[in-house]
Amino acid sequence: MQLKNASILVVDDDLDVLTAVRLLLKTEVKEVVTEKNPENLRWHLNKDHFDLILLDMNFTSSIHTGNEGLFWLNEIKKLKTDSAVIMITAYGDIDLAVRSLKEGAADFVVKPWHNEKLITTIKDSLKRKENKATFTTDPSDGSILGKELIGESDVMQQIFYKVEKIAPTDANILILGENGTGKDLVAKAIHQHSLRTDKPFVKVDVGALTESLFESELFGHKRGAFTDAREDRMGRFEAANGGTLFLDEIGNISLQQQAKLLNVLQNRQVFRLGSNESIAIDIRLICATNVSLTELANENRFRKDLIYRINTVEIVMPPLRKRGNDIILLAKHFCRTYCNKYIKPELQFDQKAIEKLLNYHYPGNVRELQYTIERAVIMADEDVLQSKDLIFSPIESVKSSDDEPEEMKLSTIEKNTILKVIEKNNGNITKAAKELGLTRTALYRRLSKYDI
């Protein structure tokens, strides 16, 4: 929420404080209401909606507990208002103010304050309030984080809780989990719910970078630094400055690459290849890997000092097979998505189809389920998806070439090639057809032929 659209209630028994805040904020926000007597809080909150409340910690009142602010904070929460509450406190009451954070306050300011600091605190509290509001529950989709992460299972609820807690901080996050579990979606959700949400989100698949490209891609280079360096180039750290840098597949980088990365993270500055000039960076770091933490702890594979640097908080994404009824929630979500995409009427699942979905082991996790549902929607001729319509990809169980017979049917080669190209293009039929040298119609005919 923008500050200029906010309605703010200020509650303090010091008239000088009320006057000062009203004069400061009257040109910054939509509405400022001041109140000297906290006993009138309920009346104000029943009468009007306030986006934020500035509440004094101490009042001259009949409540002589020494922490009147905590009492009125709890009264505000009892009214189930979604207003963010910032506590106003004297220096000697900071311990009480910190306690108020544990009891639901958004933040606190210490008297006397700097005007710029107060405005910044208000802006940050409004932004956190807005971000928190996006953690919603949809009765048709289950609990949703943003628009992509869906789940009602206990394990997903724990992840939602973690993301909600850590997103507003600048803590470095390590996301662990099998391929296809949604690690990149969690990284995006953390960024979207952070205070850096209006800054860049830059993703790098560091596991795919060669030794020669690693420094140039991450740190940038100057013209002439190497043979093909025809111009100055900004690295990904610079591109993410002020925002979030997401390093995917970090468990696959070499020890030499790890040393270079650790140096940058420790010093918070980069040197472009071919330059001696340092460039300060301000990034929030999120890393992900399908390698287990136990494997990462092997110092022959990964530096422990780098693990500590990237792993302030870790999030472990569960495999889909351990998420129970989330499988059906996700299947229905993907079904609606692809019915809209391919302009088809909304499809339902019959009971046998639901049982088949629940009993499959999903080696490819959510990604495999997504592509299975997309294929089913594309090929559906009826309004109800049946068990026979759900054909799981053999890609996940393809044998190595050493185990394959010397002679293979041409049809089998063609079928596997089509599946691999569709997988490579993330299920995009148009791109897959182009890569295969086919028209979309011809590719659909082959999909039908092989019952894909």
Residue at 325 is within a domain: no
What is the per-residue pLDDT for 242? 93
Q: Does residue 225 share a domain with residue 169? A: yes
**Cα–Cα distance list, 430 to 90, 421, 439 (Å):** 64, 11, 8
Q: Residue 252: which CATH number?
A: 3.40.50.300
What is the per-residue pLDDT for 187? 95
What is the per-residue pLDDT for 178? 94
Q: What's the half-sphere exposure (Cβ side, CA atoms, 13 Å) at 64? A: 1
Q: Does residue 397 share a domain with residue 281? A: no
Q: Does residue 308 share a domain with residue 242? A: yes
DSSP 8-state code for residue 323: S
Distance CA 338, CA 382 (A): 15
What is the per-residue pLDDT for 190? 94
Residue at 182 is within a domain: yes
The alpha-helical segments, DSSP class H, found in 268-364 are 293-296, 304-310, 326-341, 351-359
CB 25 within 8 A of CB 8: yes
Say which amino acid occupies 242: G
Positions of the chain with pLDDT lower than 50, given as ranges = 64, 134-141, 398-408
Q: Does residue 301 share a domain with residue 386? A: no
What is the per-residue pLDDT for 363? 92
Q: Residue 444: which CATH number?
A: 1.10.10.60
Overall domain count for the chain? 3
Q: Which of 73, 103, 133 lies at the terminal end of a domain, its last residue?
A: 133
Which domain range does residue 69 map to?
Answer: 3-133
DSSP secondary structure, 22-47, as one string: HHHHTTTSSEEEEES-GGGHHHHHHH
What is the per-residue pLDDT for 61? 56
What is the per-residue pLDDT for 172? 94
CB 36 within 8 A of CB 13: yes
**Cα–Cα distance list, 77 to 6, 49, 72, 276 (Å):** 19, 14, 9, 55
With vertex at residue 125, the alpha carbon angle to CA 120 and CA 128, rounded to the nearest 5 degrees, is 125
Q: What is the pLDDT of residues 268-302, one digit of tens each?
A: 999 998 889 999 999 999 999 998 888 888 878 89
Sign of the torsion angle spanned by Cα atoms 408, 413, 414, 419: positive
CB 370 within 8 A of CB 376: no
CB 181 within 8 A of CB 327: no
Beta-strand runs (E) in 206-343: 220-221, 233-234, 244-248, 269-271, 278-280, 284-289, 313-316
What is the per-residue pLDDT for 108? 85
What is the per-residue pLDDT for 427? 72
What is the CA 44 to chain-centroid distance, rounded?
Answer: 36
CB 163 within 8 A of CB 193: yes
What is the per-residue pLDDT for 409? 60
Q: Does residue 128 share a domain with residue 162? A: no
